[in-house]
Structures are given as structure tokens and as C-alpha cells.
Amino acid sequence: MNTYPRLFEIKESAILMPNILFRFDVPRENDKCVFIGEDCIINCQFIFESRDGCIKIGNRSFINGGTRLISRTQITIGNDVTIAWGCTIYDHDSHSLNWEARVEDMKQQLADYRSGNNMVLNKNWDTVNSKPITIEDKVWIGFDSVILKGVTIGEGAVVGAKSVVTKDVEPWTVVAGNPARVIKRIDQERK
């Protein structure tokens, strides 16, 4: 982090665990792209595969080890959020749905690698679907879950372990499965 202080805004009371990783696959401009709020405990990987992407984490949130936040657009995580270990939160498809575009992508990756560059340095991101992810306040995401592009997880929702979330999750619901479906609603009196 000391190498790229211009990219980070991290509150002093946030705890960054020893296994945290910030990975920038391509050079970034001077814009801030990582925001971490007060009293957080963060032990995950922040992965930026393009020159774009932003990850914002609110206050008092806990993100456990083995979790990967992979951003090309934006991932926003609210206050008082708990994310268990081994989750993947991915705001893009990584590759085009068009097979011809994937072939061209592979050719470019090979050329970049063979010339000593990072494999995604010259990737054509115009062919890749990307949409921001929003995880609202008081959410709990169980271990090994996957949150895909464009999803909003509503306030107080719980995502069961090993779930794949492909669509928005209503506030104060429990979802689980692949794809994740509503299992029950959380009693507003007991929240």
C-alpha cells in the first residue's frame, strides 16, 4: 500500500489482516479505487483486472480470508456487513459471451504474455458484460458463496453458504442454493 497511497482511502481504525492482497493487473491512474471505512476487519483479496474498477467498504464490516473482490466497475459493501471465507464477488463476466471475441481475447492474452506483459494488459473489455454490485447494510454472506455482476443484496439479508447469487436479493430475507432462492423472510421484530 505504501507504493500506491494515491489509490487508497483507508480509515485509521480499520484492521488490515496480514493475508490481505491488493492486486493491480494493469497500471492505474492516480484515482482512488479502494475505500475502507471505520472499524473494519479486512482479510480478503482486492483484484483489479483493468484500469477501471472501484471497491468501497462501509464501517464495521468484516471480510474473511480467501474471499476475492474482483472489480471492473464497482463493488459497494455497506455498514455492518459480514462476509465469510472463500466468497467470490465478481462485477463482470471476465470473457465475452461471443466465442469469436473469446478467441481474439485468447490471442491477445498470449501475445501479451509472450512479450513479457500481464495477460490482461490489452484485453478488449468492450466485449465483456460488467455491472456494479451493491451489498447493503447488515448483510451476512455465508462461506464459499458467489455474488455475480449487477446484483443488489438488500439490507439485512442472509446468503446461505455455497450459494450462487445471480439476481437481486430482497431486504430481510434468507436465500440459498444455486441459483440462490428465498428460503424465508427474517422477522422484522427480531432483526
* DSSP per-residue codes, 56-80: EE-SS-EE-TT-EEEESS-EEE-TT
Q: In the numeric block, which cell numbers belong to residue 11?
A: 480509515
Q: In the numeric block, which cell numbers belong to residue 86?
A: 472463500
pTM (2 decimals)?
0.93
Running DSSP on this structure, what letter comes out for residue 186? P
Which amino acid is it at 64? N
Q: In the numeric block, which cell numbers belong to residue 168?
A: 437481486
* pLDDT exceeds cutoff 90 at 174: yes
* pLDDT exceeds cutoff 80 at 30: no
* Separation between Cα atoms, residue 126 and residue 97, nearest integer Å: 12
Q: Give the per-residue pLDDT at 26.
A: 84
* Separation between Cα atoms, residue 183 and residue 191, nearest integer Å: 16
**What are the structural domains of the chain?**
5-92+130-185 (2.160.10.10), 95-127 (no CATH)
Helix (H, G, I), strand (E, B) or coil at 23: strand
The predicted model gives 102-109 an average pLDDT of 94
Q: Which helix (H) or strand (E) holds 152?
A: strand 152-153
Neighbouring CB atoms inside 10 A of 189's CB total 5
Q: Give the per-residue pLDDT at 109.
A: 92
- Cα–Cα distances in Å, from 139 out to 9, 33, 147, 177? 23, 22, 13, 17
* pLDDT exceeds cutoff 90 at 188: no
The residues annotated as belonging to the active site are: 95
Q: In what order do the strands lie in the sheet with 41-42?
A: 15-16, 41-42, 62-63, 82-83, 140-141, 158-159, 173-176, 181-185
Which of 6-10, 24-28, 176-180 shows the lowest mean pLDDT across its residues? 24-28
* Separation between Cα atoms, residue 168 and residue 158, nearest integer Å: 12
Q: Give the per-residue pLDDT at 1.
A: 53
